[in-house]
Every structure is written in structure tokens, then in C-alpha cells.
Structure 1
Amino acid sequence: MPTVDRGMLIRCVEAATLAPSLHNSQPWRFRIDGETVEVYADPARRLEVLDPHGRELTISVGAALFTLRAAIRDAGWIPAVEAYPDPDEPDLVARVRPEQPAEPSPEAHELATAISRRHTNRRPFSSAVVPADVVDKLRDAAVHEGARLTVADRASRTVIVSLGRAAADRLRGRGGYFAELNRWTRPLPGRLDGIPAHAMGPWDALERIPMRDFGVVMSQPSRHGEEFEPYPTIAVLTTVGDAPAQWLQAGQALQRILLVATRLNLATTPISQPVEIPSIRDVLSDPRTDRWAQMVIRLGYGAPAAATPRRPVAEVLIAQSS
């Protein structure tokens, strides 16, 4: 059996850093131990106001974990994943090991190719309808990771948009919200995290889309409102259970969905505001069946979005102890 090349693992970790994260906080670290990659949460990068329990941090790390899996698979290995392998080390969320060499399928290769092309798009989409067969592929992507993706019908969409506005109002009234938003949107020389001005997009003049307005803390005289798509395609990602294991599962499902969508030339916007207020999140969930909303996703067709910066792999890779 061929040996696992450390250089290949480093390249796969570098691909994993392209995953989406709340406010582009990039709350992950990695350690290469022989032929195994350990994936860690970085609690220092948790957003204390928006994410007091670390749910969205774990979803972000789950997205990076899936990206690592996809990159290893494209490199010609079937990855074996052990989630939360050490109860005494809760920040260690997974160990990933290239277990068996195997040529990637065309689908696996296309998924990995989408990693560098996937960018959160906060600009208006066209009014083109997302076809039913495309929606089915996205649903299948969620199921593949043990989650469920439910596309809102007209009535549900109206409710979600209303809930999104209510969540935005509640969040603006939360102590420390604007200071935290400013922390992750403030331009700094050489900054390689956070949301740069070019990625914020315009504000929705008609308030049809329940997205966060990143421009509220910045002085941008040239920033203007635009009309977004009149009937947005909005989906809710849910899991059975609502513990760290399910948050990690949700992150992997989210990234698989986003990469499949990218492969199918869809633009995507993960929307977290409606699930950041517990009472509003409860409306999108079904506690009776223990099914919990983890993320809202906007889908559609639009001009490609620009990439946001990423920290270099050397900054997220934990050095091996001697």
C-alpha cells in the first residue's frame, strides 16, 4: 500500500481553510500526526455575542472538516473520520486518516474542484427559478451527511423573512452586538480574516432577504440599496438532535450542499440570523421530534462573488511537539 505523503496532507489542510465560517472568523486549527490530521476548534475565535454556546463555531469547523474530507478523497484516498475521539479534549473535534487508496469518482473530483470556487454571495440574484431536479440534488447532499434540507414554500418563505427581520432587530438590541460586528468588519492592514467591504454587498432596499447588514457599522457613502430577487429560494438545514455532534454534522452537510450548489452554478448565502435568537430558532425547528434548525440558506443564480481572505496554512497548523 502506498504511504501517505505529508505534503499532500498539508495541501488538503490548506483546502480546508477555504470553508465558510461565521463572519469569516476561521475558528479552526489542524495538527498533522503521522498519517492523521487532527481537526480542532479554536475557542479564541468564537463570537461571544452571536454564538455564546459555540454552535456556529462548531458548524464552521464541521464545514472545514468536510472540505478536508473532500480534498483527501480527490487526492486519491478514502478518508476515515473519528468525531470527538477524546472526551478529555473537547476542542479536538475529529481525527481524519487517509485509510485506503482509491481513484476519486468524477463526482468526487467535481466536488473538490468547487472548493476554491465557492464564495458566499451577498449580492442580488436573478429572478430565475431553481429547478426541481437541482433542489433534489441539494436535498440528497444533506441526506448524505445525515441532515435534512427543506426548501420553503411561499407561505414559509414569508414567515422566514419576517423572522429574519425580527431576529435582526433583536440582535441589534443585544449588548455588544455592534462592537463584535465592528471587530470582524474593521479593515486592518494585511488582514486575512473577517468580512472585507467588497464581500458585504448592498443592503436590500425592499427587505426581502433576511441577511445581516454588515455595512451598518461602517461609513460607506457610496454604499447603496438594491432590489434583490422578488421570490428568493430559501431552505432550512436541520438535524435530529442539537448537541455538538449534530452541530458538527450540520457543518459537514452545509459544506456538501454549498459545494454541490457551486458545481451546479448556483450562488449561495448561508444566513444565520434567524437561528441566533433561541425563540426564533424554535419556530424554525420541531422540538417535538427533536429536529433542530441549524442554518438558513439562500439559493439562486447570480454573478460570481469575490473570495474573502484566508489565513495561511502555517498559521492554522499546530506544530508537532518534539
Structure 2
Amino acid sequence: MPEPETGRRPPVSREPGKPSEEILTACVRAATAAPSIHNSQPWLFRIGDGTVDVLADPGRRLEAIDPSGREMLISIGAAVFNLRLALHAQGWTPETRLFPEAAEPDRVARVLAGSYAQPDESLVELAAALPHRHTNRLPFTSAMVPAPVLRALAAAAESEGAVFHVADTVARNAILDLVRTADERLRARGVRRAELAGRSRPAPRRRNALPPVAPGSWDALEVLPVRDFGLALPQLHRPAEPFPSSPTIAVLSTGTDGPGAWVRSGQALQRVLLTATTRGIATTPMSHPLEIPALREVVAGAESGRRPQVILRLGYAPPTPPTPRRPLPEVLLPAAP
């Protein structure tokens, strides 16, 4: 299957100065390859003179699943990182300002193409991973993720101001218990189930519904709780396969909470995911407990009071196909007058 248009690497400009509108448009295309909660793609972009504004698209926030907008802003933060990365790969040093206009709260970030320099090869490598990063809900193999890879993921998070903590055996089992508890509670919420079905059910010209293969398999031994899209879509066929009983689980957290921290954690998350992709590591979010305030506090206690933003499963698995992306005309706003 061909990679989505969003995964194309932007053409490299060799001219110093401000990037052209064509280059900035290509960088926006790269930004839209970011992950988002249930593929909601809750972002908009506005290109200016050497700048790109990243805005929230409030109509795409999942009100029942994400009432605070935390996961929406994490998703937008991942898109901001992709935009920064695409500019880096072109040789510009991006300058990012979060929530630049108090009077316009939906404007989440402004990214300015700063000074021009030779692209950093490590960032070019991350940019090349953009079309290959996909959430993977298939069973992972029993192979352990090597310690050097986990250290690289921790360094990626730290470089974006977040903490990536790999759970030990006791913490892993506790987290999996919390995921099961959260899954049971969330299943019982009819309005949430209806919203999830709306995100998952294909519709004419909808470019952001989850494709039939995206939900992956369900655990035949019921060891690992995975998102049960089958409850939202009873007609969806999901094969039953055994999942390893001791997956690698990590928590991405920040020292503070609130909109700024959520956007920064999204940037850290995307840097971690792309770093994992370059090393052949598959990833799955398992953040069900973080959607329930009381359970999120339990995870926070285990994280020494840091604010947990994302729980990830990591390992090795066959590749999965990309999910569809909204066309650029749908996410690009006209330039400000």
C-alpha cells in the first residue's frame, strides 16, 4: 500500500532566508502525519511570512472522551513537533511560541523559520521516519526492548521537557490493572461509546475515520486490555490472538499540568514515537486510566507526583498501514489580512 501523501518528505531548499510558501505548505503536510486521539486530527494551519500558526479545530474535539481538551492538545503538540522537524530537516532553526495571542485561545502555537543552517543528520533521520510511524494494535512479540533503545527514548522525551519512565514488573502489573479498570468503566458510558462509534464508522468522503484494520486484534487470553472498538462497532471483525503477558510499558509525564504542558507533552510524545520508529519499535497508546481523573491520580502517585500524559506499550510487531489524513485544503486557513 502506498504511503499517505502526508508522509512525503518536504523538498529541501538550498537558499538562505525565509522559506517559500511551497516549502511551508510541504511542512504543514508533514505536520498532519502526527498521531491524534482516535485519528480526530483536531488541527488547522495558517501560513504567514516565514511562519505557520497551528490552531485547534474545536469542532473536532471529542467532548465525551476528552472533556478537558487535554488529549486534543497533546495531539496538536505532536503536529507542532512534526512542523518543527520538517523545518529543521530543511535547514531552518524553528522558533516556537505557545499560545501567542491571549485573545485567540485556539491559536496553540506559532512556529517561525529562524536562522538557516545545515540540517542536523539526526533530525533528518527522524523526519525520514514520519511516513513509517503508525499506531500498532497488533500483538507484539515476546522479545524485550533493548536497554539502549529505552535510554534513547528517555533522552528524546527529556529533550522536549518530559520524562519517559519504563515501568518495572510491579508497576507494569499495577498499570495494566488500572487499564482494565478504566476500560470497564469507560465501556459503561453510553455517550462515550456513541462518540467512539462515530469516530470509527466510515462515511462518504470522511478522511479521518479509523480504517477497518486499525483496531487490530483483541487478546484471546484477556491478559492485555486493548481499546475495544468492537463494542462501538459490533459488526467489526477483530481476530483473537494471544498477546504477551509481560509487555514493555512506559509512562510519559510532565512536571506541571495544563494547556502548555499538554502541548509540550505532545511534542515529546512525537519525538519518542519517531525515535522508536527509527529503531524498529512498535508503539500503542494505552492511556485509558488517564481519561478518568481518579485513576490518573493513582498513576501520578506512582510517578512521584509528575503529571502522567500518555501510557505506551512498546515492542516488536509486523508493520501496520497508515490511517487516512484530511486533505490539505481542509486544514489550511487563508492567510491573515
With normalisation by structure 2, the TM-score equals: 0.92
Residue 222 of structure 1 deviates from its aligned partner by 4.2
Q: 1:39 aligns with which of 49, 54, 59?
A: 54
Matches within 5 A, 1:265-304: 265-286=280-301, 290-304=305-319
Structure 2 residue aligned with 1:135: 150
Structure 2 residue aligned with 1:241: 256
Q: What per-residue deviation string (whole Å, max 9, x for no partner) do you get for residues 123-176 of structure 1?
A: 001110000000000000110000001101111111111100100111112240
Evaluate the alpha carbon distance shift between residue 287 and residue 135 of structure 1 in structure 2; reply closer, same or farther with a 3 A threshold.
closer
Structure 1 residue aligned with 2:87: 72
Matches within 5 A, 1:1-322: 1-220=16-235, 222-286=237-301, 290-322=305-337
Residues in 2 aligned to 1:66 and 1:150: alpha-carbon distance in whole angstroms: 21
CA contact (8 A) 2:265 2:309 kept: yes
Q: Structure 2: where are the runs of 5+ without partners? A: 1-15
CA contact (8 A) 1:233 1:299 kept: yes
Residue 321 of structure 1 deviates from its aligned partner by 4.4
Residues in 1 aligned to 2:120 and 2:303: alpha-carbon distance in whole angstroms: 40
Amino acid at match of 1:253: A
Residues in 1 aligned to 2:36 and 2:161: alpha-carbon distance in whole angstroms: 20
Residues in 1 aligned to 2:286 and 2:149: alpha-carbon distance in whole angstroms: 20
Q: Higher mean Cα deviation, 280-289 or 142-151?
A: 280-289
Residues in 1 aligned to 2:141 and 2:302: alpha-carbon distance in whole angstroms: 35
Residue 289 of structure 1 deviates from its aligned partner by 6.1
Residues in 2 aligned to 1:209 and 1:319: alpha-carbon distance in whole angstroms: 45
CA contact (8 A) 1:241 1:290 kept: no
Q: What per-residue deviation string (whole Å, max 9, x for no partner) do you get for residues 14-65 of structure 1?
A: 0100100000000000000111100001111111111101000000000000
Residues in 1 aligned to 2:205 and 2:222: alpha-carbon distance in whole angstroms: 33
Q: Structure 1: where are the runs of 5+ without partners? A: none
With normalisation by structure 1, the TM-score equals: 0.97
Amino acid at match of 2:29: E
Q: CA RMSD in A?
A: 1.5
Amino acid at match of 1:154: T
- SS of 2:122's partner is helix
